[in-house]
Amino acid sequence: MANATSNITRPTIKSWGFVLMVLFFIGLCGTYRKNFMKEPTVQSAQPPYTILNRTFTSEGACEAKRNFMFVKVHKAGSTTANCIFQRFGYEHNLTFVLPVIRSDVGWPNLLRQEDFIPSADGTYNVLVDHTVYNRQLLDHLMPPDTMYIAILRQPLSHLRSVFNSYHLVKKMRGLQRSDPVASFIKSPDQFHVPYVKALSHTREPYTLAKNYMAYDLGFPLGLSDSQSSIDEYIETLSREIDLVLILEHMAESLVLLRRMMCWTLKDILYNVAPKNLKKYKKTPMSTALLKQHRRWSNVDYQLYDHFNATLWQKIQREGADFPHEVRHFQNVLNQTAIFCTKAIMKVPKIELNLTAGKLTIPKTTWHEEFDIDSTLCLKLKMEWHDWSHVLKKTHKMPPNLSSGFRRAISMTNTRVLDKSLLLNIFHVD
């Protein structure tokens, strides 16, 4: 840990207020930096070592990346990826930027220093909770070699998820009950609440049912009608974000992530049972309505189309063994799920089944042999709340931490873990 952070030189957060003011005006005027270099030309690289920012030691082994930021886009299936990142950070003793309030690091506003819990040495490796992506601010907080990762979901499927999670049927009066999402898309202006202000701590307006993914990615929604602003923003993001995961192609996205980060297959395992599963009615939508939604959430669709296309371009460049690794990964996920149903007992409370032994995954061209045991099964089962609790309890804090931050740390709770598991597995209370 000490080694990982000591060699990081990063600007201290000195002129924070000034930066915020500058950003405010930048946001206000809607101007962007235009002075970007051209995107590096894509060579028909030989797999697997020539692309995706991988660095290799003299032995040819690749060095795992430990500094990363995940733009946790709301309702885009980011929970799965988030738990992978939290687990990786925990296992590698990394320092997280941890939210003071719920899972929001400043969101829906721009990040401020009082939105996260300080760390002992003032440096951070990982940020994975909700924050509005703003590269200038993040550059002041994260190390220079931070890898930036985001996630996107097919916008109609995303809208359905938003409808369910935020109970929009109750909030938008007059929607047809038989198919509220279609009814909304037919005449969105009639129902849409243009800007939402949350009950607490919010000044920036955001919106739920239009370009909501773009908001999390830092696009100023007031510019949604300006095609040149959208083009420019997408160009900027594709230069700044190292990998955008696509929910509809999660296995491919994660294998790409693994290769880009030089992580192991074990690192990207997850609980295949979706955590935020909520059922919603799914009736096929007419072509006309699909087109209408595309016009309505125009920025989200363009982001999605662009980054799905670039995901597949990246996959192409990975070479012939990529689909084999994806299939292998799915197979391991499958075996893990089956093993873990036995390795964890659920009645009356969650406990490890110590007689379950372990599942050994033999060495392949992509990884060494590794074991899956009941402790790993438990870690895969843990939800965001559990990880957040553990990470807050193990966070290395400055000695003079103010009482407000101390309160934030004491106010967490867990979903899956109980006191004895917290103590026995994580040595925290």
Ligand X SMILES: *[C@@H]1O[C@H](CO)[C@@H](O)[C@H](O)[C@H]1NC(C)=O
Binding site for ligand X (CB under 6 A): 1, 40, 53, 92-93, 145, 147, 154, 242, 248, 272, 308-309, 312, 334, 337, 342, 345, 353, 355-356, 398, 400, 402
Q: Using the 8-state DSSP alphabet, how is residue 43 labeled?
A: P
What is the nearest approach in angstroms of ligand X to the Cβ of residue 250?
11
Q: How far apart, in whole angstroms, are the C-alpha atoms of residue 21 and residue 27?
A: 10
Q: How far is the CB of 400 from ligand X (least distance, A)?
A: 4
**How do strand 68-71 and strand 147-152 relate by DSSP bridges?**
parallel
Taking the least distance from each CB to ligand X, the nearer of 64 and 198 is 64
| Least distance (Å) between residue 215 CB and ligand X | 21
Q: Which of 185/246 has CB closer to ligand X?
A: 246
Q: Which is nearer to ligand X, 21 or 45 (CB)?
A: 45
How far is 24 from 334, CA to CA, in rounded Å? 48
The amino acid sitting at 157 is: S
CB of 145 to ligand X, least distance (A): 6
SS3 283: coil
Q: Which is nearer to ligand X, 54 or 171 (CB)?
A: 54
Instruction: Yes or no: say if 89 and 391 are a contact pair by the CB < 8 Å rule.
Output: yes
Q: Pick between residue 168 and residue 299 the one whose CB is nearest to ligand X.
A: 299
Query: CB of 194: closest distance to ligand X in angstroms?
Result: 28
Strand 358-361 with 351-352, pairing: unpaired
CB 397 → ligand X: shortest distance, Å? Answer: 10
Shortest Å, Cβ 190 to ligand X:
29
Question: Using an 8 Å Cβ cutoff, are 62 and 264 in contact?
Answer: no
Instruction: Kindly state the smallest distance separating residue 131's Cβ from ligand X, in Å.
Output: 18
Q: By C-beta, is 83 or 152 nearer to ligand X?
A: 152
**Closest CB to ligand X among residues 285, 337:** 337
Q: If you search the block for the tokens 């992978």, which residue do you land on?
A: 84
Q: Which is nearer to ligand X, 169 or 345 (CB)?
A: 345
Tokens linked to 3 = 């080694």
To which H or E segment does residue 159 belong?
Answer: helix 155-165
Minimum Å gap between C-beta 263 and ligand X is 13
Alpha-carbon span 159 to 196, nearest angstrom: 16
Q: Distance between CA 215 and CA 209 in Å, rounded?
A: 11
| Closest approach of ligand X to the CB of residue 222, in Å | 28
Inter-residue contact 245 to 81 (CB < 8 Å): yes
Rounded Cα gap, residues 119 and 143, in angstroms = 14
In contact, 117 and 98? CB cutoff 8 Å: yes
Q: Are 366 and 89 in contact (CB under 8 A)?
A: no
Q: Which is nearer to ligand X, 121 or 232 (CB)?
A: 121
Query: Residue 92 or residue 102: which is nearer to ligand X going by CB?
Result: 92
Place of tokens 């089956």: 338
What are the CB-based long-range contacts (under 8 Å, 24+) for 29-35? 30/220, 30/222, 30/223, 30/226, 30/229, 32/229, 32/232, 32/233, 32/236, 33/236, 34/232
